[in-house]
Amino acid sequence: MKKILVTGGAGFLGSHLCERLLDEGNQVTCLDNYYTGTKANIRRFIGRNGFSLIEQSVIDPLDGNYDEIFNLASPASPPHYQADPIYTFKTSVLGTLNILELARRTGAKVLQASTSEIYGDPLVHPQREEYWGNVNSIGIRSCYDEGKRGAETLMYDYHRVHGLNIRVVRIFNTYGPGMNPQDGRVVSNFIIQALRGDDLTIYGDGSQTRSFCYRDDLVEGIIRLMNAPDAVSFPVNFGNPCEFTIRELAELVLDMTKSPSKLVNLPLPQDDPTQRCPDISRARDHLGWEPRTPLRQGLEKTIDYFRQFVDMPSFSSAG
């Protein structure tokens, strides 16, 4: 049994990670300030043996003694991370610094939830971990992209200077049950719009691509990476290498929900990456990991989950 801290544990991915770690018999502390996560996501663990909760921001000084820390605290959806960009940047950089200082004092192993966004609008396709990226440092996405890049830098400097045992996972678009209906990312927007019979809002002409990974596959990968031997201290891409255009995703959602909704085009937000797809050779070679859930199967479960929110407003304005 390990003592584990999950920051951002009340969010979409964090709450499922907490559940997996609890099921494996660990002592799990969730730290969250409910910026985009909710108490509803973790209510089922409150009172469960081995679970504890800290309601605070990672920007504030941190205390405690853990074997492992999964640092997931950060808004992840463009409309949410752009709503208060200075907060977003501080959460990534100061939050990661606080986590690393805690780990330096106590000897904890740290896994940082990084992102495919560190590749920016990539000029190399698919993206391998060796690619350094193409990021606009002063655009509206920079608070997130550069914040996460800064967090990676801190991770590797603490590894080199203080010998910390670190893991960096670069997560590509991940979806599934448990997403906030107000999240504003494309999968939740399209499903809620389709279920309500509203227009599906395609930003731009819909030719931009993304690769969608199911939540449970991603959580499995994160846990394998944390448990991997010390030698795996290089960043690892996790995502589904099946690439779709946003228009294809919209058509698939319409087909699966049998919705009468129409597709409408809204302006493409600034710096929206045109193509994104992970090269997951590293995850395959070093961790024996690859996603198992095809998009249609993952969407079925996600559509079922979103049916309960049909009467709530969705987040549908272009970033």
Enumerate binding residues for ligand NAD (CB under 6 A): 7-8, 10-14, 32-37, 57-59, 72-76, 91, 95, 113, 115, 171, 173-174, 180
Chain position whose Cβ is nearest to ligand UDP: 185
| 16 binds ligand UDP, rule: CB under 6 A | no
d(CA 43, CA 276): 35
CA separation, residue 25 to residues 9, 68, 123, 163, 188 (Å): 17, 14, 43, 28, 32
d(CA 127, CA 277): 6
Of 1-9, 95-103, 146-154, 181-189, the segment contacting ligand UDP by CB under 6 A is: 181-189
Decide which of ligand NAD, ligand UDP, none touches 202; Cβ closer than 5 to 8 Å per partner kind.
ligand UDP
Do the Cβ atoms of 127 and 237 come closer than 8 Å?
Answer: yes
User: Peptide bond before 229: cis, by omega within 30 degrees of 0?
Assistant: no
Question: In sequence order, which residues have a C-beta less than 8 Å from that of residue 227 and are 6 or more positions away?
Answer: none
d(CA 210, CA 240): 9
AA letter at 59: I
- Known catalytic membership, residue 144: yes
Phi, psi of 120 (to 5 degrees): 60, -135
| 282 binds ligand UDP, rule: CB under 6 A | no
Site map (CB under 6 A) of ligand UDP, residues 242-271, x = contact:
----x----------------------x--
Q: Per the residue annotation, which of 144, 175, 203, 214 is the catalytic one?
A: 144
| 202 binds ligand UDP, rule: CB under 6 A | yes
Q: Which is nearer to ligand NAD, 183 or 195 (CB)?
A: 183
Give the binding site for ligand UDP (CB under 6 A): 77-78, 173, 185-186, 189, 201-203, 208, 210, 246, 269, 272, 316
Q: What residues are annotated to the active site?
A: 144
